[in-house]
């Protein structure tokens, strides 16, 4: 290892949700006597949270504009790399890699990409989509390593860019993980008191962003189905945390449907373990994922989980007590919610907690990423 600290430039186009949590969970494990990090990202609330998460650690933050263009990100990245002093650039997400690829190549700085999403056919439709695919293919050729967070994500990448199949050493799979220690000791959150509801209300957690990918519309349809069920034993209430995406449009749609009383929108919560513990069930109606952290966190708490069998998510919940439903199937989501309403199935999830804590512990991921850093820095990839 080098006599001085290894300096890593972390490039983050959008430090939201899973990417921010990924950085918090993984990078708090790096030895501050060996590594130093510079985080480049937009100047908004999520960066504030990330900076607080990493306070006291060897991290400096370079703020971009609140909604930086690709040109701005490329310019700032190039400026930092040409000044020298960085041993590795680690791009978080495809857009970050796109902006950093040329400066990294020119300065001969080893470049690692962590892919936090999967590709969909719609992204490459039409002339604009074909151009995007061609540009991304060039970027992938310039990268030293592409880190996929699940086997599903790797398969999706290779199906989308088949030329990478002949470059197997360039693509690695290191699954996501969570800080197990944060989920071992659980306390009451006072959520029911905050909401002003009694035990007759069945609390359903939705902790995703309000984007089409997260399938919120199918949860809404499931609640509509439940409310028409005369045999319902509890009052369903969906509780979401934070905002982002199309939350305003979703609220307007609920008002038009007359469902607003069954949905509550609360601010972002820093202690997700206590919040999940206060819910009766967590629902993930996602259409696709790469390797989501929420099901790991939910299973580590011992709260019942309903999840779709979509790419990425199915890999995480395999071999767990999760109630799995087909993608875009609101009837099955409603059936799952009713199942947990009328049957006390929480015990099977509580019993699974210890296995979940061991299986999803981020230390496995950190050790693999640190070993990958060493390989890249030594030129072994």
Domain parsing of the chain, residue ranges = 6-177+362-377, 181-359
Coil, helix or strand at residue 111:
strand
Q: Residue 246 above 60 pLDDT?
A: yes
Q: Residue 2 above 60 pLDDT?
A: no
> To which residue do tokens 């939910």 refer?
298
Do the domains 181-359 and 6-177+362-377 match in fold?
Answer: yes
Q: Are 207 and 269 in contact (CB under 8 A)?
A: no
In the chain, the DSSP E strands lie at 6-12, 35-42, 59-64, 88-92, 111-115, 145-148, 171-173, 201-206, 235-241, 263-266, 281-284, 305-308, 323-325
Predicted confidence band at 113 (pLDDT cuts at 50, 70, 90)? Answer: very high
Q: Provide the pLDDT for residue 3.
A: 59
Q: Provide the pLDDT for residue 137.
A: 96
Summarised one tens digit per residue, pLDDT across range 137-178 is: 999 999 999 999 999 999 999 999 999 999 878 999 999 999
Coil, helix or strand at residue 125:
coil
Longest dimension (CA), the chain: 71
In the predicted model, what is the mean pLDDT of the chain? 93
Q: Provide the pLDDT for residue 1.
A: 44
Superfamily of 6-177+362-377 according to CATH: Glycogen Phosphorylase B; (3.40.50.2000)
Percent of the chain with pLDDT over 90: 81
Q: Residue 95 above 70 pLDDT?
A: yes
Q: What is the pTM of this model?
A: 0.93
Mean pLDDT, residues 122-149: 95
Q: Residue 271 above 80 pLDDT?
A: no
Q: Which helix (H) or strand (E) holds 357?
A: helix 346-359
The answer for 126, left when phi > 0, alpha when psi is -120 to 50, beta otherwise, is: left
CATH classification (class only), 181-359:
alpha beta
What's the first-to-final CA gap in the chain, in angstroms? Answer: 17
Q: Provide the pLDDT for residue 85.
A: 87
Coil, helix or strand at residue 217:
helix
């Amino acid at each position: 290892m080098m006599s001085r600290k290894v300096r890593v430039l972390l490039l983050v186009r959008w430090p939201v949700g899973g990417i921010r949590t990924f950085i918090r969970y993984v990078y708090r494990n790096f030895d501050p006597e060996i590594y130093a990090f510079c985080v480049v990202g937009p100047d908004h609330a999520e960066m504030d949270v990330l900076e607080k998460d990493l306070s006291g650690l060897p991290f400096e933050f370079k703020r971009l504009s609140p909604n930086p263009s690709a040109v701005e990100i490329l310019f700032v990245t190039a400026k930092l790399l040409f000044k020298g002093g960085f041993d590795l650039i680690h791009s978080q997400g495809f857009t970050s890699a796109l902006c950093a690829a040329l400066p990294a190549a020119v300065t001969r700085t080893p470049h690692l990409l962590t892919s936090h999403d999967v590709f969909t056919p719609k992204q490459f439709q039409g002339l604009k989509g074909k151009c995007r695919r061609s540009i991304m293919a060039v970027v992938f050729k310039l990268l030293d390593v592409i880190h996929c967070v699940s086997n599903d994500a790797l398969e999706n990448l290779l199906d989308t860019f088949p030329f990478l199949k002949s470059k197997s050493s360039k693509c690695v799979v290191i699954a996501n993980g969570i800080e197990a220690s944060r989920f071992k000791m659980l306390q009451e959150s006072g959520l029911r008191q905050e909401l002003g509801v009694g035990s007759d209300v069945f609390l359903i957690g939705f902790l995703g962003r309000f984007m089409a990918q997260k399938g919120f519309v199918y949860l809404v349809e499931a609640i509509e189905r439940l409310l028409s069920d005369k045999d319902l034993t509890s009052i369903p209430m969906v509780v979401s945390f934070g905002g982002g995406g199309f939350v305003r449009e979703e609220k307007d749609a609920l008002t038009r449907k007359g469902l607003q009383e069954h949905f509550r929108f609360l601010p972002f919560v820093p202690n997700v373990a206590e919040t999940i513990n206060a819910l009766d069930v967590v629902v993930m109606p996602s259409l696709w994922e790469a390797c989501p952290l929420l099901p790991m966190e939910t299973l580590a708490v011992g709260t019942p989980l309903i999840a779709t069998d979509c790419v990425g998510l199915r890999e995480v919940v395999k071999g767990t007590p999760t109630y799995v439903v087909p993608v875009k199937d609101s009837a099955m989501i409603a059936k799952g919610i009713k199942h947990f309403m009328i049957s006390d199935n929480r015990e099977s999830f509580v019993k699974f907690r210890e296995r979940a804590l061991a299986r999803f512990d981020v230390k496995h991921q950190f050790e693999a990423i640190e070993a990958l850093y060493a390989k890249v820095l030594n030129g072994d990839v």
